Chain A
């Protein structure tokens, strides 16, 4: 069964460092998403991406965040200068163009120290 894969599963970084979280969406999906879940809180939408452009973004997705599809298979989330409050589980998801049914990856747990 096709699935969304994310790497790494866990990343520890020092405050102020840049991190890149990677995702391989399902191959025939054209919409890509990032969500995050701070420990003990609900899953929150960050951004959606289609046709090499941001489709929608939330208030959380400020200038320190960026997304990119560097090649035909990967989709990345970059956090330029990490803060302690960026510590969270980050989920990548993808969907077809038909509707908003999203398939999620296993997540990357980011710990900022």
Chain B
């Protein structure tokens, strides 16, 4: 079955501390992987994506993610969290072909403490 697991429902990080959000996937074809962020009352903003090539990908707002095929993981990281990073983060997997469904995880809510 195709699925995305985000094991952490809620994480609290101190401002300035590092962050890692976990994502594991199960997908039958070559996975195309995405991280989206959703601020309260807002839509889904693409943070970064992995299609192929270098397994460490850089995104917007200082985020990066590393694809590990052997572990079926695509964890999101940021070296120093800012209060404005508080939001909900979704990992998603899909096929390359346009028109196919993205499968989302349940999301991780990030709180940032001062």
Chain A interface (Cβ < 8 Å from any Cβ of B): 4, 6, 30-31, 35, 41-45, 48, 50, 55-56, 58, 91, 93, 95-107
Contacts and interface: CB of A to CB of B under 8 A. Distances in A.
18 contacts: A6-B43, A31-B99, A42-B90, A44-B104, A55-B99, A95-B98, A95-B99, A99-B32, A99-B97, A100-B32, A100-B94, A100-B96, A100-B97, A100-B98, A100-B99, A104-B43, A104-B45, A105-B43
Contacts, number: 70
Nearest to B49: A101
Contact of A100 (B44, B100, B106): B100
Nearest to A29: B98
Contact of B43 (A31, A58, A91): A91
B62 to A, nearest CB: 19
Interface string B36-60: 1000001111100101000000000
A102 B102 contact: yes
B46 A103 contact: yes
Given A50-B99, A100-B95, A42 B107 contact: yes
Contacts of B106: 41-42
A58 B101 contact: yes
Contacts of A103: 46
Nearest to B98: A31
B96 A48 contact: no
B6 to A, nearest CB: 9
